Structure formats: structure tokens, C-alpha cells
Structure 1
């Protein structure tokens, strides 16, 4: 009887671990304010991103603990301003998007 309890607990822990791994690798999505003219692929903070038209999708395990706005800023610094951003099942609010895009504009101005 005790062996069954231990095996059941192990199985439950394995399911939880695989669920957490799946949540980390759930795709991120961004909608660009200006579409790209040709498909682009890049890796940003360990996540492989592909942009085509105004749609970008990122896939890869996220090992960092960045907040969504900080994560968005990293993406926007490479691909440009976004109209929407979703990661780990959460969408950025309008205020968060403004903060994300503002940082990208400042970075682009500094480069020029």
C-alpha cells in the first residue's frame, strides 16, 4: 500500500514538472506597429523569434525571471515597436505597452 502512495506521488510530481516546463516554453506573440518587409528570424534572450508581416512569434524555454515589460523591451529593441505583446499566457496592458515601446524609441534615438 505504501509503495502505491509513493509511486502516485512521484507520478503527480512528474506531471507538475512537465506542466511547468510547458508553461516556460509556451510561445510569445507580438503584433508590430509597422510590418517587416521580409520574414526575419532572430534569437532574443534565448528565445527564437520569427516575424512575418506584422506578426511575431517567439518560442523557447525562458530560464530568466524577467517581468513581461522587461521581456517586451528586449524584443522591441530588436524588432521595433509593438501594438500588442503576450507571453506566458498574459497580455501587456496599454500602459505596459507604452512603457515597453518608449524604451525602444529611446534606444533607437540613442543609436542614431
Structure 2
């Protein structure tokens, strides 16, 4: 009987721990400053496996998972393709250099769908 109570107590503890983990706020992995706030979405948008939210020209990308292995340039060009040119990019607290940011914006402009004539 005592062993059964111990198993039930352990199961209850694991259930509480799992619910506490799922209640954690999403981890923010990236921040961008848009060259123009005109491209900022009004509601959260998923790009590159992150959920992006914007306030004016400042946006952040967050997830509950771990996007380990995703390169900052991958995120940058996909975000810039959806939101427009970026003035600044930070991924996991590392700022992108001006040269890399220019490369990102150029790659995004080449990847963006063209309007029908």
C-alpha cells in the first residue's frame, strides 16, 4: 500500500512539474528593428519557426522550443522578406554587423515574391 502511495505521489509531482513547464513564457531568441514600421504585422506572425510580434518598428521572435542549429542569417533573410528591410538584427543577444545586415536585406529582396505586372 505504501509503495502505491509513493507512485501516486510521484505521478502527481510529475504532472505539476509538466504544467509548470508549459506555463513558462516563450523564450525570445531574436529582436529586429525595421527600417520602416509600415511592414510590421498587426498580429503575431510565424516566420522561421519563431512567433514574431511587433510594436511600431521593433519586433521580437519567440518560441517555447529550442531553435538550436538555425543560423542567424537564415532567420534574418526570411524575416526581412516578410517584414521588409531591417535596420538592426539581434539573435541570441548577438548583434549582426552592418555588412551582414546588408547581405541579409539584399538576400531577402531577391527572395521576396515579385508583384504581377
Same fold flag (TM > 0.5): yes
Q: Distance in 1 between matches of 2:88 and 2:55?
A: 15
Aligned residues: 88
**Structure 1 equivalent of residue 107 of structure 2:** 103
Q: Distance in 1 between matches of 2:84 and 2:33?
A: 10
**Structure 1 equivalent of residue 30 of structure 2:** 28
In structure 2, the CA distance between the partners of 1:38 and 1:45, relative to structure 1 (3 Å rule), is closer
Deviations 1:22-66 (A, max 9, x none): xxx333100000113763420112210012211111111343512
1:72 to 59, 65, 76: 76
Supply the RMSD in Å over aligned alpha carbons: 2.1
**Structure 2 equivalent of residue 55 of structure 1:** 58
In structure 2, the CA distance between the partners of 1:103 and 1:62, relative to structure 1 (3 Å rule), is farther
TM-score (normalised: structure 1)? 0.68
In structure 2, the CA distance between the partners of 1:95 and 1:38, relative to structure 1 (3 Å rule), is closer
TM-score (normalised: structure 2)? 0.65
1:82 to 79, 86, 106: 86
Runs of 4+ aligned structure 1 residues displaced above 6 Å come to none
**Structure 2 equivalent of residue 43 of structure 1:** 46
Structure 2: 5+ residue stretches without partners: 1-26
